[in-house]
Amino acid sequence: MNVTLRQIEAFVAVAQHGQFSVGAQRLHVSPSALSMLIRQLEEQIGARLFDRHTRFVRLTDIGAEFLPAASKVIADLEVAITHSRDRSSLRRGRVAVATSTVMASTLVPWVIRRFALANPGIEVVLKDVAEQEIRRLVRVGDVDLGVGTAMSDDGDADFAVEPLLEDRLVALVPPDHALAQKRSVTWRDLAGQPFVALGSGSPLRSIVDRAFASIGAGVTPAYEVSFSSTVISLVANGMGVSALPLNARQLTSKVRVAVRPLVRPVMPRRVCVFRRRDIGLSPAAEAFQSELRAHVRAGGFPVAAQSEHPADRPAPHGRA
């Protein structure tokens, strides 16, 4: 069938107004052009849709039966166009973001709050997961964006990767531990202690392993867990020492954990935004990524916002 939307619009206009002249005015076409559209539609259907009279037209039985469906086609299209315009103009939409539990407790809520205030019609879904899960959720399409630690294989063609920020790993030790008395801690200091580690699939664990390897030390974790919050709790309970990114310090304010600069070597950690390379972002996801980028560039990553004892303040980047 070659029925066109314009033919359906012409039919509905004449059916609603009962006159070709009024229907033509509504569609901004001449009466003869409108008549041609109706004739073409009747030819496609194979039946008359109107009984034509001198002063008015009347629907045939077939026309009356066709009218509700034709009207619904136009109404559904108008709704679809409105929704699409709303999404493109950020009046409505949805964006899903996966990130680590630490980022979900520090950076990302600040961004969500700013984004929600500016775009109240956009639904934001936040999935806080183990770091090794972030890429999987992006890959299978469960989320639009992933925010997490960069890995050595981030050249994967499946992902578009945008660097977001950089911090560094710090040492976490129980407050009554001998290492808590030092202004900075070395990786060799940690190598001789029961170590609480993230799982082997974590990109943070790979940074820790590289650091120990650089000093020729092999560490067998006393405990191996999935989440940084669990690491912090185990350290707070005196069950070992650990190393996490600087932003994890914000989660230590409610527990007794000493945070110290970790040196020789200083191990930087890059945080990136990941998305599927083969799928374009929705307007809502693009806007959220822009908000995330702007928030960090404006100094909104609140690592340094925590009040702390002078002895717990980390040294400037790259210094002990």
Structural domains present in the chain: 5-88 (1.10.10.10), 93-312 (3.40.190.290)
In terms of residues, how long is the chain? 320
Q: Which residues contact 96 (CB under 8 A, 6 or more apart)?
A: 124, 125, 126, 127, 142, 143, 144, 145
Q: Coil, strand or helix: which one is 243?
A: strand
- Find the distance separating the first CA and the last CA of the chain, reported in whole Å: 77
315 pLDDT tier (thresholds 50, 70, 90): very low
Q: How far is it, in rounded angstroms, from Cα 157 to Cα 277? A: 7
pLDDT for 35-52, tens place per residue?
999 999 999 999 999 998
Number of helices and strands in the chain (H, E): 10, 12
Tokens for 95? Answer: 């964006």
Residue 53 or residue 198, greater confidence: 198
Check residue 304 and give its pLDDT. 39
Check residue 313 and give its pLDDT. 40
Mean pLDDT is lowest, of 25-29, 216-220, 262-266, for 216-220
Q: Coil, strand or helix: which one is 66?
A: helix
Report which residue type is found at 168. Answer: R
DSSP state of 91: S
Query: What percent of the chain shows pLDDT beyond 90?
Result: 69
Tokens for 273? Answer: 């935004």
Tokens for 240? Answer: 């070992």
Q: Say if residues 315 and 258 touch (Cβ distance below 8 Å).
A: no
**Neighbouring-strand partners of residue 195:** 241
Going by their DSSP bridges, the two strands 196-198 and 223-225 should be labelled as: parallel
Residue 165 or residue 319, greater confidence: 165
Whether 21 shows a pLDDT value over 80: the answer reads yes
pLDDT for 176-232, tens place per residue?
999 999 999 999 999 989 999 999 889 999 999 999 999 999 888 999 999 999 999
pLDDT for 92-140, tens place per residue?
889 999 999 999 988 999 999 999 999 999 999 999 999 999 999 999 9
Q: How far is it, in rounded angstroms, from Cα 206 to Cα 227? A: 15
Closest C-alpha among 298, 118, 289, 260 to residue 182: 260
DSSP state of 273: E
Check residue 155 and give its pLDDT. 57
Tell me the mean pLDDT in the region 85-93: 74
CB atoms < 10 A from the CB of 8, how many?
19
Q: Say if residues 233 and 257 touch (Cβ distance below 8 Å).
A: no
Q: Coil, strand or helix: which one is 5?
A: helix
